[in-house]
Amino acid sequence: MGMTEELTTWTHEQKCRKAVTALAKNSFTAQYCATPHEAAEYIIAHATDAVTVGFGGSMSIAGLKVEQLLRDQGKEILNHSNPTLSREDKVEVMRRQLTCDLFLCGCNALTLNGELVNIDGIGNRVGAMIFGPRKVIVVAGYNKLVDGSIQDAIMRIKNWATPPNAKRLGYNTPCASTGFCSNCNSPERICRATTIIDRKPRLTDLHVLVVNAELGL
């Protein structure tokens, strides 16, 4: 590792650790992970008693490559992103994710004050993050960290996450074409439910892994 890379890694680590400290103060179970591999190991360890595992359509989680590992352990995988599912089956999987044993998802933005900020098109992911599953593990790479306000976090999502996600998912929205948010009224708009989790919901065993790596959008 060269000096520049070493210093960059160190800088990201300090920001990640600051976020973890803030999350802990806000009653979340928070863990710093130096690598994606550490995050994957954490998930596998905390999935021991889970029978059903839900996936919230996260590129961050997909990058950890834990789905097949969990499947090999005999877990029932609830992943609505499975391309073989019909529209009706996708919705049914989303409903089942709301009461699964373990729900895995990413986070659109995480402030250094320890606030989780997300925007959904349907609300299944943010709904499951807040209440329902027996355990929730949220994974956030350093690229999701925002040194600023909740409004700054929302702008991070609309400027850097929503346009490429709309394009990735094949939606016919202005941002999927231009790369810029226009606060559209498109029927396929994916910015429809904005949530701010500033303290751990009282009845949700919510864990946040802050990873010193770029994960997702």
- Summary count for the chain: helices (H), strands (E): 9, 10
> What was the pLDDT predicted at 1?
77
Where does residue 50 rank: exposed (0-12), middle (13-18), buried (19+ CB within 10 A)? buried
Q: Whole-angstrom Cα distance, residue 10 to residue 4? A: 10
Q: Vertex 62, ends 196 and 22: CA angle to 5°?
A: 35
Q: What is the pairing mode between strands 116-120 and 193-197?
A: antiparallel
CA distance from start to end of the chain: 25
Q: Whole-angstrom Cα distance, residue 203 to residue 188? A: 33
- On average, the pLDDT of the chain sits at 97
From first to last of its 217 residues, what are the pLDDT tens digits of the chain? Answer: 799 999 999 999 999 999 999 999 999 999 999 999 999 999 999 999 999 999 999 999 999 999 999 999 999 999 999 999 999 999 999 999 999 999 999 999 999 999 999 999 999 999 999 999 999 999 999 999 999 999 999 999 999 999 999 999 999 999 999 999 999 999 999 999 999 999 999 999 999 999 999 999 9
The candidate with the shortest Cα–Cα distance to 152, out of 110, 101, 192, is 110
| CB contact burial 182-212 (16+ within 10 A = b; e otherwise) | eeeeeeebbbeebbebeebeeebebbbbbbb
Q: Whole-angstrom Cα distance, residue 26 to residue 138? A: 15
> What was the pLDDT predicted at 158?
97
Give bridge partners of residue 120 from the DSSP assignment: 193
Give bridge partners of residue 158 from the DSSP assignment: none
Domain 3-211 fold: Rossmann fold (3.40.50)
Task: Quick: pLDDT tens for 2-26.
Answer: 999 999 999 999 999 999 999 999 9
Could you tell me which residues come within 8 angstroms of residue 131 by beta carbon, excluding any fewer than 6 positions away?
201, 203, 204
